[in-house]
Amino acid sequence: MQILLVDDEAELTDPLSRVLTREGYRVDIAHDGAEGSVLAASGSYDLLILDWMLPHTTGLEICQQLRSHGDMTPVLFLTAKDTIDDRVAGLDAGADDYLIKPFELRELLARVRALLRRPPTLEVTTPQRLQVEDLELDSDNQLAYRQGRRIELSEKEAQLLAYLMRYPNQLLTHTQIHQHLWKDGEKPSSNVLAAQIRLLRRKIEANEESPLIHTVYGKGYRFGTASSE
């Protein structure tokens, strides 16, 4: 089972990750909400353990973003917020459970086991169509549409475009895109992503249409009608 732990306190994440690993879970760690949001959206996890208060993007916002896209991955909140209103806000955002700091490790492990025992949801986990500006993506059929043009995409191009379109005007690093497109065991050469970007640009930015994919040199790419560099 794969778990994503998102918390900005290293004194918590380090020992908690070791305990979860000893229990047989595979654990990824993010220390801020921006990184956590991107990893959580990859759909690679069986459980998300989120701190409520995080730099850049809160755990509450990460949970809301996932639920708005139909992603029902179980979410366990870790937080110092302990009022009834706080608990209601967390549950209303789509959280499955709520653990108040400080907590006993035995209780956390019990809640993790309980959440992972739940049967998988039958809800659709990703939207069928995405739209940013004048570009629409039908990822199920590997088709895009722009200004009346039908654009046929390869499977990898559709995956890359969907990932970019989920985060308009946000910088997505080379590492984040690699982790999303190529799973464990796949080791593409360093220029493969750049080649995929070139191919995708040729298809969605033809006929003097405004650029949508902007290179942030040395870092990654940003998707939108205008670069915010």
What count of residues does the chain have? Answer: 229
Tell me whether residue 229 is in a domain.
no
Contact 75, 48 (CB under 8 A): yes
- Render the burial of 74-89: b for 16+ CB within 10 Å, e for the rest: bbbbbbebeeeebbee
Please give the average per-residue pLDDT across 33-37, as a whole number: 88
Domain match, 11 and 106 both:
yes
Checking if the pLDDT of 127 tops 60, the result is no
Q: What is the pLDDT of residue 82?
A: 66
Domain match, 21 and 108 both:
yes
Asked if the bond preceding 102 is cis, omega within 30° of 0, the reply is yes
Domain match, 109 and 156 both:
no
Tell me whether residue 124 is in a domain.
no
**Residue-range definition of the domain harbouring residue 215:** 129-223
| Overall pTM surpassing 0.85 (yes/no) | no
CATH, residue 43 = 3.40.50.2300
Number of structural domains (the chain) is 2
